Structure 1
Amino acid sequence: MRIGIDFDNTIACYDGVFHAAALERGLIPADLPSDKTSVRNHLRAIGREDDWTALQGYVYGARMDLVGLYPGVAAFIAAAQRVGHTVFIVSHKTRTPYRGPAYDLHEAARGFLAARRLTDPAQGGIAPERAFFELTIMAKLARIDALGLDAFIDDLPEVLAEPAFPPRCRAILFDPEANHPDGVWQGRRFERHGGWDGIAAALLGRDAA
């Protein structure tokens, strides 16, 4: 099986990261809730939309060291490859932020993967050349198609619902925050899992252990 995985919010977990980075830059009060939405809403409410945009570039470009892995994703990648599946990472993001310093966001993401051994085959990771960072959703979908993926895992239902998503590819919604607990988005039903253990069981079965 050829399995593709999205990067942001599917492999890379940003829980608490925007709060920590915003505190570091003196943008928010310390007692603000730690989720990303609260940070964004606070900055927008006080007329600092530009600071919110710049903060995103800062996190994705300079502070990927604050970011963690979702529990179980490294084990899934290692287990899938151990039993003969081929794993790819396919993501989309701009090359540089919309505002602030011109960090190379693609290289920052690759550095994150390397630092966590996810692109180190000797540690159960994938070969670095199997990680793709495209500039647009449509380019991402074209890559999924060109790679001939049998399954693709993404946190964004709108990506999986795109008409250009290859019909032969099994679409799996990664939904750890239960934003779509019934697996439905705009009338479209998806195979949904709230964690990597569930994905491993669904795709690897007994080989997941």
Structure 2
Amino acid sequence: MRIGIDFDNTIACYDGVFHAAALERGLIPPDLDRGKNSVRDHLNGSGRKDDFTELQGHVYGARMDLVSPYPGFAEFVATARAAGHALFVVSHKTRTPLRGPPHDLHGAARGFLLSIGLAGEGPTQIAPEGVYFELTKEAKIARAATLACDVFIDDLPEILLMPGFPQGMQRILFDPEDRLAEAAATAGPQSLLRRTSWPAITAELLHEPA
């Protein structure tokens, strides 16, 4: 089986990360809720939308050390690779931030995967040459098609439902906050299989207990 996997908010978990980075930069009060949306809404609501845009570039470029993979993802990789499945990371992001220092966002994401041992030459890792960062959503979908993935896993319904998404490719919607049930239910003929954790995806695809 050939499995394509999105990166941001599918592999990389940013829970509390934007809050911590914003506190470091003196952008928010310490008692603000730790969610990314709370940080965004606070800055946007106080007329500092550009500060949030720059904060995103700072996190994705310079502070990936604050980020962790979602629970169970490393076990999924090891189990899938041990069973002989091919894994690919296929994501889209700009090369450099829209504001702030010109960090190499693609390099930072690759470095994250390597630094925590998810990517490498080992038999239970994702091969570095199987990691792709594209500049647009359309190029991301085209890459998944070129790789002939049997399955694609993403946290965004709009990606899985985009025109041009390859027919016959199984679509798994990763929904760790359990808030996309309606989107999955109303997907129509392009059905989405919604799962809320990596252990649940492991059980679905690899027939391992969740």
CA distance in 1, matches of 2:56, 2:123: 30
Determine if the alignment matches structure 1 residue 156 to structure 2 residue 138. Answer: no
Query: Match of 2:6, as an amino acid?
Result: D
Is it true that 1:110 corresponds to 2:126 in the alignment? Answer: no
Q: Give the corresponding residue for 2:193.
A: 191
Residues 138-170 of structure 1: per-residue CA shift (max 9 Å, x gap):
000000000000000000000000011111110
Query: What's the secondary structure of 2:61's corresponding residue?
Result: helix
Structure-to-structure mapping, 1:194-205, within 5 angstroms: 194-205=196-207
Q: Distance in 2 between matches of 1:123 and 1:13?
A: 24
Q: Give distance in 1, aligned partners of 2:51 and 2:30.
A: 17
**2:207 aligns to what SS in structure 1?**
helix
TM-score (norm 2): 0.95
Identity over aligned residues, as a percent? 59
- The residue aligned with 1:71 is 71
Moved more, 183-192 or 27-36: 183-192
Alpha-carbon distance in structure 2 between the residues aligned to 1:39 and 1:28: 7
CA gap of 1:121–1:98, structure 2 versus 1, over 3 A, is same
Contact 1:4-1:89 within 8 A present in 2 as well: yes
Question: Which letter does structure 2 place at the counterpart of 1:126?
Answer: I
What amino acid is aligned across from residue 154 of structure 2 in structure 1?
Answer: D
**CA-CA distance at 1:121 after TM superposition:** 3.3
Residues 150 and 168, structure 2, Cα contact 8 Å, conserved in 1: yes
Q: Deviations over 1:85-107 (max 9, x none)?
A: 11110000000000000000000
Q: Is the contact between residue 3 and residue 86 of structure 1 (CA under 8 Å) also seen in structure 2?
A: yes
User: Which deviates further from its counterpart, 24-33 or 174-183?
Assistant: 174-183
- Which amino acid letter does the alignment assign opposite residue 138 of structure 1? E
SS at match of 1:122: coil
Q: Counterpart of 1:3 in 2: which secondary structure? A: strand
Taking the aligned partners of 1:82 and 1:123, their CA distance within structure 2 comes to 7
* Secondary structure at the counterpart of residue 168 of structure 2: coil
CA-to-aligned-CA distance 1:29-77 (integer Å, 9 cap, x gap):
0000000000000000100000000000000000000001100111101
AA of the residue aligned to 1:190: L
- Indicate the SS of the match to 2:181: coil
Question: For the structure 1 residues 160 and 43, does the alpha-carbon distance in structure 2 shift closer, same or farther, using more than 3 Å as the test?
Answer: same
**Following TM superposition, by how much is the alpha carbon of 1:181 offset from its aligned partner in structure 2, in angstroms?**
2.8
- 1:19 counterpart SS class: helix
**How much is the aligned-residue C-alpha RMSD, in angstroms?**
1.4
Tell which deviates more after alignment, 74-83 or 174-183: 174-183
Change in Cα spacing, 1:185 to 1:66, as seen in structure 2 (3 Å) is farther
Alignment of 1:88-127 (within 5 A): 88-122=88-122, 124-127=124-127
Amino acid at match of 1:75: E
Change (3 A) 1:163 1:126: same
Q: Distance in 2 between matches of 1:185 and 1:159?
A: 16
Unaligned runs of 5+ in 2: none
What residue is the counterpart of 1:50 in the other structure? Answer: 50
Whether 1:35 and 2:35 are equivalent positions in the alignment is yes
Judge which range, 45-54 or 114-123, deviates more. Answer: 114-123
Contact 1:90 1:133 survives alignment (8 Å): yes
Write the letter of the residue equivalent to 2:169: C
Q: What is the SS of the residue equivalent to 2:22?
A: helix
